Structure 1
Amino acid sequence: MSNKSNGSSSQSQCHDSLLNRFGPMGMALAGTWFGFANPLLHFPMAILLLPAALILSALWAQSHAQAFKNGFLTALPGYAASLYWLAIPVHDHGGLPWVLALPCPVLVGALLAAYAGLFCMGVHLIKPQIFQPLAMLTLGLLWASLELVRNHFLTGFSWLTLAQAMAPWPTTLGLAAWVGGFGISGLIVCVSHSLLIGNSATRVAILPLIGLCLLPGLTSSPRNPEATASVSMIQGNIDQGLKWDVGMQADILKTYLDLSFKAVAENAPDLVVWPETAMPFYFQDPSDLTTNMRLGVARMQVPVLAGAPAYSIPMEPDAPSYVLHNRAYLLGANGEPLAAYDKEHLVPFGEYVPLGKWLPFITKLVPGQFEFRPGRNTEPLQSGPMAMGLLICYEAIFPELAQRQVELGANVLVNISNDAWFGHSSAPWQHLHLSVLRAVEQNRAIIRSTNSGVSAFIGPDGSLRGPTTLFSTKIAHDPAIPLLTEKTFYHEHFYLIHMAFPILTIAFLWVLWRAGRQTHT
C-alpha cells in the first residue's frame, strides 16, 4: 500500500509540474498568436491570455530566478510564432539558408520573452499582496514601463505591444489619446489580472476598467476639421526581386506614372503619394529617369510625394566616399523638388549594422554595398494646407517620432513603406496596427502608402478607410482627409506620462513588497 501511495503521489506531483509548465505556455501561445494579426484568425480579446499566463507562471515560481525563467519560457513560443515572418526576408533577400533563417524569429522572440521574464519577477516580488487592488494597478504600470524600455533599448523594438492587438477594434483605443499605446497595454494587464485572480474588490473594477477603455471612443464626436485634403495613393505592387534590377527601372517608373495619370483623371486629388523607394534610382542625379519623372509630374499638374534612395558625401575624415539615405521627395505640380525628408530611425541589420566598426564580419541582410545614415532634415513637408509629418516604414512603430512630427507642426502624418520583403505574411497587418496607435495618440490622420499592401487611410480615431489587399496593384483615394491642429493630452504631456510609468511602478512595487514582508513577520 505504501509503495502504491508513494507512486500515486509521485505521478500527481509530476502531473502538477507539467501542468504548471505547459498550461501557462499554452495559454500564452494561444493569446499571442490569436491576439495579434496572423494568417488564421485574429481575435483581439485573446491577448488577455498572455499576461494572465505570465502571472500564473510567476505565482508558481519559488524564487525570482525561477520566476524569470518561467516567464521567459512561457512567452517565448508565442512571440516566436507571431514573428515567424522574420525568416522570410532573411532567407529570400538576405541569402541565408533556411537552417540559419528559421532561428531568427526565435532569437528576436527571446528578446521579447526576456521582458516577459522581468514582468514575472515583478509579480513574484509582490506575490503575498497579489490579490490587492494596488497590485492590479502596479502590474499594469510595470508592463507599460517594460514596453517603454523596449521602445528604446538596443535601438528599440516596439513590435507586438499589447495595445496593437486591439487595433481592429478602434473604439477600444480612444484612451490612447490620454495615456498612449503603452498605457493601453497596461490597462489590458489590469483587466487580465482582475479576471484571473482578482478578489471581490478588484473584480468590481473590471467594468470600470473596460468602461474607461471604451468611454473616449464612444463619447468623442468628430469635429469638423479646419481643412481637408484629397489624396490618391499608388500601390504599384512591384516584385521585390525585380525592384533593384537596373533594366527594370524605366518600366517601374512607367507603372507608377501611368497609375498616377489614371488617379488624377478619376479623382482630381490635391496630392499623389507613392510608397517607400517607389523610384528605384537616384532622383538627385541628372538622368533620363529623373527627367521622365519630372515631366510626368508636370503633365499631371499635381504634387507627388515619392520615396527614393539618396546619397550624400560626408565631410568627416576617414569617412566613406558617400553614404546612403532612405528619402521621401515632395515634387511640386511643375515637377521640381520642393522638399525632402530622410529617414532618421534606421532598421538594424537591414539599413545599417550595429557596432559594424567592431563587428566587420556582420553584413546587412538586404542588398547593397553601402550602409545608410539617418537623416537630419526632420521638418514636415508642406504642400498647400498639408503639413505632412513623414514616417518612413519602421518609423511608424515609435511613438516619439510621430510626437516630434506633430510638435513641429504636422497636421497629417504620412507613412510610406515597402512591406513586400515579408511576402504573404501577417507582418504588413501587424505593421498597420502599430500605425493605428500613432493616429489615435496624436489625433492625426495617417496616409499609409505601401508598395504591396497594406495601404490605408487611417482616421484620427483609428478607423481604416479603403485598406488594400496584399500584393495587388491599386489606386486608393480619400477625398476628405482631415487636417487637424488640436493636440491630445498624451501629446501635451508625452514625457511626463512616460516618466510616470517607471516612477509609479517602482514606488508601488516597494509599497507592496514592504507590506508583504510585514505580513509574514
Structure 2
Amino acid sequence: MNMWLAALLSILSGTLLTLGFPGLNVSLLAWFALVPLFVAVQGRSTRQTLVLGFICGLVHYLTALYWIRYVVHYYGGLPLLLAVLVLLLLCCYLAVYPALFALAAHRLEHRPWLWILGLPAVWVTLEWIRAHLLTGFPWANLGYTQTAFPRLIQIADVTGVYGISWLVVLGNTAMVAFVRRRSRIGLGIFGICLVVTVLYGSWRLGAVEDLQRHVAPWTVAVAQGNIDQAHKWDPLYQQETLSRYRQLSLDAVRHNPSPDLIVWPETAVPFFYGREPRLTGQLHEIIAELGVPVLFGSPSAKVIDGEPRLLNSAYLVDPAGRVRADYAKQHLVPFGEYVPYQRVLFFVHKLVEAAGNFAAGTDRSPMKIDDHEIGMLICYEAIFPYLARRAVDEGATCLVNITNDAWFGQSSAPHQHKDMASWRAIEFRVPLIRCANTGISAIFDATGKPLGTIPLGERGYLVASVHPLKVETFYRRWGDLFAWLCVLTALCVLCAAPVGRTRIRHGAAKG
C-alpha cells in the first residue's frame, strides 16, 4: 500500500470518529472508526506512523471542533484567516494524541494480545492526559459517542466516560485482530465485556429508578431566553432581557405542579448584580412577583491584589430579595476568560480581543435551598467530572449547569456540550438541571434520562420534578481509578513491547 492510500485511510478514520458525535450522530460508526487507521499504519516506519496518526487526529478535530473558528472570528473579533489559524493550531496540538496512539499500535503490532488489550488502555491514557495537561480539554472523548445508549453508559458510575472509551477501542482492536489472524478469542473477550456492561447498565437503571421512586420529588424550572449574543450586552436591550425572563418565569410558575426553584442561564442578567441599584431593584421585583427563588448568572467583580477582576458568577436569590448563596466559576475558559501562561504568551492578549481578565472563584460550598444542596457548574465546567465530584463530596444532591452556548451559533457544539454534561448525572447519581441561553436546556434524572428539553435556538421554559439522591457511587469515591489503571497498563504494555519484538527477530534468525 502506498503512502497516499494510507493517508486516505487515516482521513477516513478521522472522519468516522467525528461522525459518531452529534451532527450526523451515527454512534455505531465509533466501533470501527479506528480500523482504517490500523490498516494504514501496518508495516510502516515510525515516522510514517506518526504522520498517519497525526492526519487522522487533525481531520477528526478539525471536523469536530470547526465551530471554534466561528467563535473567535464572529465574537472574538479576529480576522477570518487568523481565526482559521487559531483553530488549526489547537487541532494540531490535539492531533498529537492520535499520533501517539498510532505509534503505540505500530509498536505492538507483533504482539497480538498486547495489541488487542493494550491499545484500549493507551487510548484512555491519552484521553486522561488531554483532560489535565495545559488546563485540560476533555472535549469529544470517544465514550461520549455512545450517549444515545442508556444501558451501555450506566457503567460510568464506576469508570467514568473512560470505561466506554476503553470498550469502544477494544471493539476496534478485536475486530482487526479477527480479520488479520482469524482470532476469535479477541472478539470473545470484547463480547463478554460488552454483555457485562449492558447487563450492569440494565440492573443499575432499575436500581436507580427504584431509589428515585422512594425520594420526595423536587420541582424545578428552567427559562431559556434565547437572547442574541450580539445584543446581550447592549444597554438598550437590558429591559427587553429582564422582560423576557420575567414572562417565561411567570409562565413556569403557573404550571402544575409549580416549581420550587427557577433557573436562568449563565450571565442571564446583563449587568453587575448588586452594583447597579436600579436594575438590581427591578430584578428583585420580578423575583418577588414570582414568589419562587431564582438561580441566575451574572457578572461580578472584586479587587484582587489591588487590581479589579471580573468573576463569572451565579446567585440564588429568594422572593424577599436576599442572596441565599453565590458561586464564582472556578475552571475558566483559556483565551476566553483569561490568558494562561502569560509570561510565555505575553503577546496573546493583543491578538484575542475577547479574552477577559477574569479571576477564578474559590468557594466550593453547595448552594442550600430548603432541604436541598446544589452543586454549581458554570459553562464548560460541566465537562470536567472532578468539579462535579467535588460538589457532590461537599454535600450536593443536585447539579445545576448554567451556560451561554450562543457563542456556538447553530453548530454541533451545543449538542456536544449537552451530551457531555448529562454524564455527570450518571457518574454521581444526582439529577442535573441544565439551563442554556440559546439552548439546549434540559433536565436529567439520576440515570441521565432527559425529563424534557428546549431545542436549540428557541425561547421557552421547562418544568420537571427531579428526585435528589444521596448515593455514594464507586466513581464518586475513587474518581478516575479506572483511568489510572489504564495508565499503569499502558506503561507495562509499552515497556514489554520492545522485548517481544527482539525475541521475534532472534527466533527468525535462528530459523
Mark yes or no: TM-score above 0.5.
yes
Q: Which residue of 2 aligns with 1:224?
A: 211
Match of residue 307, structure 1, among 297, 301, 313: 297
Separation in structure 1 between the aligned mates of residue 356 and residue 22 of structure 2, nearest angstrom:
34
Match of residue 43, structure 1, among 23, 26, 42: 26
Q: Which residue of 1 aligns with 2:175?
A: 195
Separation in structure 1 between the aligned mates of residue 94 and residue 34 of structure 2, nearest angstrom:
13
Q: Which residue of 1 aligns with 2:278?
A: 288
RMSD (Å), alpha carbons: 1.8
Separation in structure 2 between the aligned mates of residue 486 and residue 348 of structure 1, nearest angstrom:
33
Q: Which residue of 1 aligns with 2:101?
A: 119
How far the C-alpha of 1:21 sits from its partner, in A, is 2.1
What SS does structure 1 have at the residue aligned with 2:211?
A: coil
1:88 aligns with 2:60: no
TM-score by structure 2 length? Answer: 0.93
Q: Is the 8 Å Cα contact of residues 230 and 271 (structure 1) preserved in structure 2?
A: yes
Separation in structure 1 between the aligned mates of residue 58 and residue 33 of structure 2, nearest angstrom:
11
Q: Which residue of 1 aligns with 2:40?
A: 57
1:422 aligns with 2:408: yes
Separation in structure 1 between the aligned mates of residue 334 and residue 236 of structure 2, nearest angstrom:
29
Match of residue 178, structure 1, among 152, 158, 181: 158
The 5 Å alignment of 1:7-18 reads 16-18=2-4
Q: Which residue of 2 aligns with 1:334?
A: 320
Show structure 1 runs of 5+ residues with no match: 1-12
Deviations 1:117-165 (A, max 9, x none): 1111211221210x22x43221111111111100010101111110111
Q: Is the 8 Å Cα contact of residues 162 and 482 (structure 2) preserved in structure 1?
A: no
Q: Is the 8 Å Cα contact of residues 367 and 374 (structure 2) preserved in structure 1?
A: yes
Match of residue 52, structure 2, among 49, 53, 70: 70
Q: Which residue of 2 aligns with 1:8?
A: none
Separation in structure 1 between the aligned mates of residue 391 and residue 423 of structure 2, nearest angstrom:
15
Count of matched residue pairs = 496
Shift in alpha-carbon separation, 1:515–1:373, aligned structure 2, 3 A: same
Matched to 1:160, the amino acid is A
Q: Is the 8 Å Cα contact of residues 93 and 366 (structure 1) preserved in structure 2?
A: no
Separation in structure 2 between the aligned mates of residue 166 and residue 179 of structure 1, nearest angstrom:
14
Separation in structure 1 between the aligned mates of residue 106 and residue 454 of structure 2, nearest angstrom:
45
Separation in structure 2 between the aligned mates of residue 78 and residue 303 of structure 1, nearest angstrom:
44
How far the C-alpha of 1:90 sits from its partner, in A, is 1.0
Matched to 1:263, the amino acid is A
What SS does structure 2 have at the residue aligned with 1:311?
A: strand
How far the C-alpha of 1:493 sits from its partner, in A, is 1.4
How far the C-alpha of 1:364 sits from its partner, in A, is 7.9
Deviations 1:325-370 (A, max 9, x none): 0001011232211110100000011100112355343228877685
Separation in structure 1 between the aligned mates of residue 199 and residue 65 of structure 2, nearest angstrom:
32
Q: Is the 8 Å Cα contact of residues 81 and 105 (structure 1) preserved in structure 2?
A: no
Q: Which residue of 2 aligns with 1:243?
A: 232
Q: Is the 8 Å Cα contact of residues 78 and 352 (structure 2) preserved in structure 1?
A: no
Match of residue 331, structure 2, among 333, 337, 345: 345
What SS does structure 2 have at the residue aligned with 1:223?
A: helix
Deviations 1:60-92 (A, max 9, x none): 4222x3322220012211220111111111111
How far the C-alpha of 1:515 sits from its partner, in A, is 2.6
Separation in structure 2 between the aligned mates of residue 440 and residue 58 of structure 1, nearest angstrom:
37
1:146 aligns with 2:126: yes
Match of residue 279, structure 1, among 250, 264, 269: 269
Shift in alpha-carbon separation, 1:145–1:27, aligned structure 2, 3 A: closer
Large movers: runs of 4+ above 6 Å: 364-369
> % of aligned pairs identical?
34
What SS does structure 2 have at the residue aligned with 1:205?
A: helix
Separation in structure 1 between the aligned mates of residue 54 and residue 10 of structure 2, nearest angstrom:
11
Separation in structure 2 between the aligned mates of residue 136 and residue 174 of structure 1, nearest angstrom:
24
Separation in structure 2 between the aligned mates of residue 197 and residue 23 of structure 1, nearest angstrom:
18
Separation in structure 2 between the aligned mates of residue 483 and residue 448 of structure 1, nearest angstrom:
15
Q: Is the 8 Å Cα contact of residues 335 and 355 (structure 2) preserved in structure 1?
A: no
Matched to 1:324, the amino acid is L
Q: Is the 8 Å Cα contact of residues 173 and 462 (structure 1) preserved in structure 2?
A: no
Separation in structure 1 between the aligned mates of residue 283 and residue 20 of structure 2, nearest angstrom:
43
Separation in structure 1 between the aligned mates of residue 267 and residue 82 of structure 2, nearest angstrom:
28
The 5 Å alignment of 1:153-164 reads 153-164=133-144
1:452 aligns with 2:438: yes
Which of 430-439 and 489-498 deviates more?
Answer: 489-498
Q: Which residue of 2 aligns with 1:404?
A: 390
Match of residue 486, structure 2, among 501, 517, 520: 501
1:206 aligns with 2:190: yes
Matched to 2:358, the amino acid is F
Q: Which residue of 2 aligns with 1:9?
A: none
Separation in structure 2 between the aligned mates of residue 239 and residue 345 of structure 1, nearest angstrom:
25
Separation in structure 2 between the aligned mates of residue 514 and residue 175 of structure 1, nearest angstrom:
35
Separation in structure 1 between the aligned mates of residue 285 and residue 389 of structure 2, nearest angstrom:
36
What SS does structure 2 have at the residue aligned with 1:128?
A: coil
